[in-house]
Amino acid sequence: MQTPALPVPESRPLVPPSLRGVAPVVVALPVLALFQWLLGGADFASYLLSVMGVNIILAVSLNVVNGMTGQFSIGHAGFMAVGAYISGVLSLQLKEVALSFLPVAASDQVLFMLSLLVGGAAAAACGFLVGLPSLRLRGDYLAIVTLGFGEIIRVVVQNTDSFGRALGLSGIPQASSPAMVYFWVFLVVLAARRLAGSSHGRSLWAIREDEVAAEAMGVDTTGYKVRAFVFSSFFAGIAGGLFAHFVPIINPGSFTFVRSMEIVVMVVLGGLGSTTGAIVAAIFLTLLPEGMRSLFSALGTEGSLAQRVDQIRMPIYGVLLVVLMLARPQGLFGSKELWDVLPRWLPRKRRGLA
């Protein structure tokens, strides 16, 4: 039947096929619960971990479009904003509501999850609307249109009373926890990995490699690009929703072009197409400003320097992009993944061994 030249490990599967879909989630939940318990009441650590988790979700989801599919979106923060505002407003509306058949804490989490999903769906719908016209055209149009989309979102928010205009939205229930954030981190990584390992993911790679040939081989390139874009926008919306539920206030300033660029830099630095790279770069670039701040205040040289870290890092991001493109366009990881080099007995997905 099969005549592969290389021996394929044909051991009996540890998990029956019908359960492979949910098995990782079953494993992850107790781990996350433990993680939350260990973290206890460490406020700053919780906050920093949550920010980091949101950045990972953003970077991994953007990598599906910018890395795997070879398109270039620079308006990820716009989709994040959609998720943040929609789920934030919904949570505000549901603040007084409780599901009577559940204990209060559980009811809050269920409602929180609901508003997250609605926010994600709204972002996905926006992704569809933005992607359809621009993805029919050459890749660079997407860059401009997504950038413009971010601007449109900003203007819409600033003109809508229920979004709090320029002042922002406060009083959103602080329902998020690091466990919830990392549950979504886990989901986005799992989804990205499964996508990359599936033949749908192969079609995305094919589009990145040669769009004309992909089209000639029956790949509906526009359809695939739009689907990838919707996928990516959905998770950006989720990230925004999570963000809105652990920061005290959201305003248009939280979702500017700078935010989008930060995510782009993460993806490019990690290596376009590598989920592992996106994760590593997201962690690194979240901790870097904190590290610089502590370093400057420890040195105690100029008090102002520590405060100006946020200002200084932006031009550095720009220069970093240019230097990366000139010196190492494939980023840290190229398109390689951690699970490509793991030992054999661990569950893994090599290219072509779906």
Partner 1 sequence: MAQLLQHLINGLASGTIYALVALGYTMVYGVLKLINFAHGDVMMVGVYMGYATAFALGREARASLLGVAVVFAVAMLGCALFGFLIERFAYRPLREKPRLTALITAIGISFALSYGFQLDIGFLPGASPRAFPEIITPTEWLIIGDRDVVVWNWQVISLLIAVGLMVGLQYLVFGTRFGRAMRAVSWDHRVAALMGIPTDRVIALTFMLSSALAAGAGLLYAIKDTSVSPLMGLYVGLKAFVAAVIGGIGHVPGAVVGALVLGLVEEFVVGYAASTWRDAVAFGFLILVLLVKPGGLFGRVAAEKV
Partner 2 sequence: MSADIQAVAAKDGASPALLHADGVGIQFGGLKALTDFRLSIHEGDLQGLIGPNGAGKSTAFNVLTGVYQPTQGQVRVRGAQVNGRKPHQINLMGVARTFQNIRLFRALTALDNVKVACRAQTGLHQMSTGLGAKFAAARHNYADWWKALLLTPGFQREEKRLTEQAEHLLEVMGLSHRRDEEARNLPYGEQRRLEIARALGTQPRVLLLDEPAAGMNTREKADLMVLIRKLRDDFKLGVLVIEHDMKLVMGICEHITVLDHGETIARGAPAQVRGDRKVIEAYLGDSYLESHGGAA
Nearer to partner 2, 218 or 315 (CB): 218
Interface stretch with partner 1, choices 2-10, 29-37, 240-248, 317-325 (CB under 8 A): 317-325
Q: Specify whether the CB–CB gap between 139 and 242 falls below 8 A.
A: no
Q: Specify whether the CB–CB gap between 256 and 310 falls below 8 A.
A: no
Separation of alpha carbons 248 and 238, rounded Å: 18
Q: Specify whether the CB–CB gap between 158 and 165 falls below 8 A.
A: yes
Nearer to partner 1, 148 or 173 (CB): 148
Looking from the CA of 330 toward its CB, the CA atoms found within 13 Å total 4
Q: With CB cut-offs between 5 and 8 Å by kind, which of partner 1, partner 2, none does residue 198 bind?
A: partner 2
Q: Specify whether the CB–CB gap between 93 and 163 falls below 8 A.
A: no
117 binds partner 1 (CB under 8 A): no
Nearer to partner 2, 109 or 330 (CB): 330
Query: Phi and psi (nearest 5°) for 249?
Result: -150, 140
Contacts with partner 1 by CB under 8 A: the residue count is: 46
3-class state of residue 24 by DSSP: helix
Q: Which of 31, 45, 319, 353 forms a contact with partner 1 (CB under 8 A)?
A: 319
Separation of alpha carbons 349 and 352, rounded Å: 8
200 binds partner 2 (CB under 8 A): yes
Please give the full DSSP string across 285-353, using - where no structure is assigned.
HHHHHHHHHHHHHHHTS-HHHHHTHHHHHHHHHHHHHHHHHHH-TTTTTTT--GGGSS-TTS----TT-
Q: Per-residue contact track with partner 1, 320 to 349, x per CB under 8 A?
A: xxx-xxx--x--------------------
Q: Specify whether the CB–CB gap between 234 and 30 falls below 8 A.
A: no
218 binds partner 1 (CB under 8 A): no
94 binds partner 1 (CB under 8 A): no
Nearer to partner 2, 48 or 219 (CB): 219
Nearer to partner 1, 5 or 216 (CB): 216
Nearer to partner 1, 141 or 205 (CB): 141
183 binds partner 2 (CB under 8 A): no
CB of 325 to partner 1, least distance (A): 5
Q: Which of 103, 133, 223, 291 forms a contact with partner 2 (CB under 8 A)?
A: 223
Please tell me what DSSP assigns to residue 256: S
Residues 6+ apart with CB under 8 A from 301: none
Query: Phi and psi (nearest 5°) for 136?
Result: -70, -25
Q: With CB cut-offs between 5 and 8 Å by kind, which of partner 1, partner 2, none does residue 156 bind?
A: partner 1
Question: 44-73: which residues touch partner 1 (CB under 8 A)?
Answer: 70, 72
Q: With CB cut-offs between 5 and 8 Å by kind, which of partner 1, partner 2, none does residue 336 bind?
A: none
Q: Specify whether the CB–CB gap between 219 and 103 falls below 8 A.
A: no
Nearer to partner 2, 18 or 304 (CB): 18
Separation of alpha carbons 131 and 71, rounded Å: 11
Q: Per-residue contact track with partner 2, 229 to 268, x per CB under 8 A?
A: --x-------------------------------------
Q: At what angle do helices 275-299 and 257-270 cross, to 10 degrees?
A: 110
99 binds partner 1 (CB under 8 A): no
Nearer to partner 1, 179 or 272 (CB): 272
By the criterion CB under 8 A, which residues form the site for partner 2?
1-6, 17-18, 20-21, 191, 194-195, 198-203, 205-206, 209-210, 212-221, 223, 227, 231, 335, 350-352, 354
